[in-house]
Structures are given as structure tokens and as C-alpha cells.
A and B are shown apart, each in its own frame.
Chain A
Amino acid sequence: MTAAKIIANEIKGYHRFVQFLIVLVALGALASLARFVFGLGVTTNLNDTFPWGLWISFDVVTAVPLAAGAFTLGAIVHCFHIKKLEPLVRPAIVTGFLGYSLVCVGLLLDLGQPQRGWHTLVYWNPHSPMFEVSMCVMAYTTVLFLEFLSPVCEKFGYHVPMRLLRTLEMPLVVAAASISTLHQSSLGTFFLIAVDKLHSLWYNPLLPLLFWLSAMCAGISIIIVEATMSHKYMGQPDEGELLETLAKILPWVITVYLTVKFFSLFALTQGPLFNRPGLLVLFVVEVVGGMIIPLFMLMSRKVREDGRLRATAAWMVIAGIILNRFNVSMFGMEAPGTFYYPSFIESLVTIGIIAAHILFFVLIAKYFPIFEHHPETVDYSIPDHFHKTEKGHAHGAAKA
């Protein structure tokens, strides 16, 4: 069989959902091709009054905190030495690595001159938060890649590099946490320059700190959701107990976040808060629905112990943070009377990027030992049906 045939056969064996993801990714790729052929002006709804749109708001500003699971968990597990959470680390690293790689893709698409991306490495401007973020994202993607190499080496049985990676593990974890702290917060710094542009509900000098704190909330919630989902859909064991521990940490972080948020809102904000009813609604939904309600939910033991409720609360936090990033980078930036909404092609690209993330995660989980803690019992192939594996049905792609 030729390589192409092998691949085609392999793909035929995938679950329909996975095939659907492949289609979405292909559409996204086509859409991004269109962007380069026809130009940003034609394919997007961006213009001189609204130069940053969906790709910055979602693919960069939102995707970065959503990929924060890796550094949060790495720090919790290794630095605070809470060993029992260790089984969650690898999936988190894979998610982080994918997330960041796709952030880079999103960023390149959005750049007017992507072929000059390397200029950030040559022409330094330390006064620019964008410079800082792009350096950090590059550095962090490398770190995550190195961390991700562990399961790869394991899979192929490369012992020497594995040794090396083991030695590097701690420095990498520390590097990951410090680099993340910087760029997670610098994403907030981006908007500090938008004085008089970003609405005062979100504009305040502590924006970087808030971005960092909420990134940690996002990180923890993502881990909860991810573990719950891979238990439910990918036949991974129940990590309930571990997630309970995380669910106990989360309310603390949320509380700190909310404290800083309200302090900065009432003590440091200049300018009117209540002059734009639409924005006010968005703000209330973000804070109440995305932070306060899940905070109260997670304070009750019943919620923390119930897998479903716990995941629901985590989802709410995630939704709150997504809304927060959109509020800061999109809704809050729109001048009264202007309105930006993403074009069809912009949306297609973003959907493709999200689909690619899920797709690659599923595929990596299929071929590499990232749920490594119970190697004997697990067949890494994707079950044919997401709820239960049908017995006797030959997996088209069981070879891994």
C-alpha cells in the first residue's frame, strides 16, 4: 500500500465526528487561502476604525488564556508538589501546545505581512506589549513542544532523549510558569494603550493583573472540563477525586480575581461606567454568570463532588472568561455608533482553528501515550461511538 492509501484507510476508520472535524479544518484552510489571495479588506469585515477583529479577539486574546491549563497545572503539580494531580499534566500540556501553535497560526493569518514574522526576533522594541507577547508565545510554544516530546519519545522508545527531557522537566515547568505569567498579563497590557477607546468598565491600570488571574481561572476550569470530557467521550478513567481538589482551589483564585476586579473598578477607573447600557449588560453577564455564580456553586461540597455540576461550573467560568476577552478586545473597543461583526470567511477560519484543536487532540491521544498512567488497560484508538465502545466491531485504526 502506498502511504496515501494507508492514510486514506486510516481516516476511513475514524469516527464520523472526527471526519466532520477534518472537513471543518479543510474549510478553514480554504478560507485562509482566500484571505491571502484576495486580501484582508475583501475577506474580512475589518476596516480603519476597527482594525482588530475576530482573529485577534478569539484566536489570540481568548485562545491564550484557554491554553493556560498547562502552566497552571504544571506549577501546581511540580512546584507545590501535589503529586496526585500528575495524571492530568500530559493532556494539559498537549492542549497547551496545540493551543499555542494555533495561536501562532491565527496571528500569522491576521498579520498583513506574515512572511516577515521573524522581524520581531530581529528588530526589538521592548516598549511594545506585542513584542513581549510574540517573544513569549514563541518561547512558550518551544517549551511546550519540549514537554510534549516526552510522550513522543516514550512512544518510540527513545531512551536517551527521554533522559534528557526528564532532567529538563523541572526547569521547563518553571520556565513555562514564568513565561506564561508574562504574556498572559501582557495581553492585558495591549489594551492599556487604548486609553479613551476601551470602555471604562474594562479599562483600568490593573488590566494586566486581571488578565493573569483570569487566565489561571481559565486554566483550572479547562483542566476540569477536559478531564471530564475525555472520561465521557474517550473512555478515559474518571479523575473525579483529582478534579475535586482542583475545584477546591478554583474558588480561591476566583475570589482573588473578583476582589482585584472590583477594587480596580471602583477605586481606579476614570470615566463613566453606566453610559452604555449594552456594554453594561455584557459586563453583568460576564461577572455574574461567568464568575460569581460558579464561585458560589463551587463553594458547595455537593457541586464539587458531582462530576456534572462541577463541569458545569467550570464551563461557566470558561464562558465568562471568553466573554471577558471579547468584551475587552471587541465590544468594549467599539466606538458608539460603529458595529463590527466577523465576516463569513473570518468565522470559517476561526471555526477551522477550533476544529483543528479538537481534531489534533483526539489524534494525539490516539497515537501517543498522553493518558499514560494506565497503559495496560487502555486502547488508544478512538471508540467508534463516543458513548460506548461496541464490542466485536473491528477498529479500523486500531494500530497505533
Chain B
Amino acid sequence: MSSENQDFNKSKAFLIDMTKCTGCRGCQVACKQWNQLGAEKTEFFTGEGYQNPPLMSEYTFTRIKFRDYEKNGQNEFAFYKEMCMHCNEPACASVCPVGAFKKTKEGPVTYDADRCIGCRFCMVACPFGVPKYEWSKALPLVRKCTGCYSRVKEGLKPACATTCVSAITYGNREDMIKEANKRIAARPEKYLKKLYGSEEAGGTSVIYLTALPFDELGFKPVTKRPLPSYTWQALRLVPGIFLTVGSSLSLLSWFNHRKERIAKEEEQRKSGATPKEES
């Protein structure tokens, strides 16, 4: 875990403008290449629409979702790049018992495969359904978008952002949000007046701009509160409860046993006998 004192505005973030996405899936390919991900045998129409592969998986850290919809009587496509959101306060990092996930100060949330014990709590916890599992292996590990941390920490852009001609912008989170608002202000008739990711799950390092309502694109409605706080409000009580229960039970039993002890001592003193064996 990590992140309380970090200034997320200075960390790097993606701005994904879906009105500019042409659905070329260059990012999907670039991601595969950079991360050396295996190929997946796919078929058309196995998923919800035209997209392929049907879901993110151990081999696919990012993919373009296709949505067809009707606008002014015309059939149109909308595209949505699905990837790890690199939450400011990641649920995955907070629940991992061995701390395999980490929010880096550069922005990406990284995963340390050498620590992971494979409990899959991160998968249960992530509100965006991002971490995937190597179901094909006997001793599986978790896989997910790394935010190309190995590139970012050397000053490069992530592979997907480098490949993309127009839809993905990468830079300081603060600047990305400013830029997004600028685009909305410049063309209010085109954009929805909402940034997905600015507040979701307490803010993420991936910010989306769209023309279509987010739920129609398949964005999950997610709480605005950072997820770790949900469990922490209970967990932070742990030491206190431990001490309270422990000490009150000790006291209680001490008192309850005292009477008996006193009676026994009395008896012994009276009879003058040596202490009796208990068992």
C-alpha cells in the first residue's frame, strides 16, 4: 500500500478521447508487442459486439470495445479502450495480503509477480474487473496492464499511447484534466459534460471523454469514494478490538476465578495440608 501523501495531480495519466478513436486497435497490438503477450484464438461475435477478443484476459491487457448505436437515424460506432485505470488509491493494492500491487509515484499501478500468492482477492476487489488470471497454468499468476511502468520510469510514454495517433494523450494528471475540460468547453455540443475517471473510485490515472452516455458504452457505475477506505474503516479497529476483548476477558476470568481461588486457599489454610494436586 502506499498512497496517502502522494500528489496525484503530478503523476502521469491517460486522457482517452473516445470521439477521436477510429477503432484501429493499434494500441491493442502495441500492448501485445511491448508486453510480449501470447496470441489468442478468437472468433467473431463471441463477445457483446464486434470486438475481439471478447474480454480482457491473461493475454490481452487492453482492448477496444465496440458499441453500435443509433444517432439521428444513422448507425454509428463508438469505441472504448478498456484497460487498468491505475486508480489513485487502488483497491487491488489495498486488499493484496502480500502487497504485490503498488501505486508508483509516476502513476502506474504495478504488480510484483514474485510476491503474489495467487489468492485472487485483487480480482474480487477491483471495481473495474481488471486483474486477470492465468487460468491455463498449474501455478497461475495475475496479469494486468502495467501502465508500461518500465517505459514510464525512463521518461517514455506507454506503448499504447505512443502508437495511438489521436485518441490517447499522456501527461500529468492535472494537465490531462485541464485539457479535457478545454475540449468540452470548445465543443460543448459534441462532448458529454462528464469526465469518467476524475472521481471514480477516488480518482484514476485514466480519464475518458466521450460523446455517448457512459453507461451505454459499458462503463460501470463506480462509487466516488476510494475503495480502500471501505475496508479500512473496519480494519483500523482491529488492534483496539484485540486489546479490548483480550483485556476484558482476562479481567473477567480473573474475577470469576478469584472467588474460587480464595475459597481454596482458605480451605488449605484451615486444614494445614500441603497444596493438592490438581489433576
Contact = CB atoms under 8 A, between A and B. Distances in A.
Contact of B242 (A75, A115, A182): A182
A199 to B, nearest CB: 14
Contacts, number: 195
DSSP majority for the A interface? Answer: helix
B221 A196 contact: yes
B96 A112 contact: no
A110 interface: yes
A39 B115 contact: no
Contact size range, A = 35 or more
A111 B238 contact: no
A15 interface: no
B245 interface: yes
A110 B119 contact: yes
A386 to B, nearest CB: 32
A45 B115 CA distance: 25
B123 interface: yes
B209 to A, nearest CB: 23
Most A CB contacts (10 A, CB to CB) among B91, B245, B257 go to B245
Contacts of B279: 162, 166
B232 interface: yes
Contact of B246 (A49, A114, A175, A190): A175
A376 interface: no
A120 interface: yes
Contact of A177 (B129, B222, B232, B245): B245
Contacts of A185: 234, 241
Contacts of A127: 1, 94-95, 228, 231-232, 235
A178 B222 contact: no
Given A52-B120, A113-B118, A178-B249, A129 B95 contact: yes
Contacts of B97: 119-120, 125, 128, 130-131, 134
A112 B222 contact: no
Interface string B156-176: 000000000000000000000
Interface in B105-120: 115-120
A51 B140 CA distance: 12
Interface in A293-342: 333
Contact of A51 (B116, B117, B123, B230): B123
B124 A195 contact: no
Interface of A: 36-41, 46-49, 51-52, 75, 78-81, 110-117, 119-120, 122-132, 134, 162, 166, 170, 173-175, 177-179, 181-182, 185-186, 188-190, 192-197, 205, 207-208, 333
16 contacts: A40-B140, A48-B129, A52-B120, A112-B139, A119-B115, A123-B100, A129-B231, A131-B97, A166-B279, A174-B253, A175-B246, A182-B242, A193-B95, A193-B124, A195-B223, A205-B233
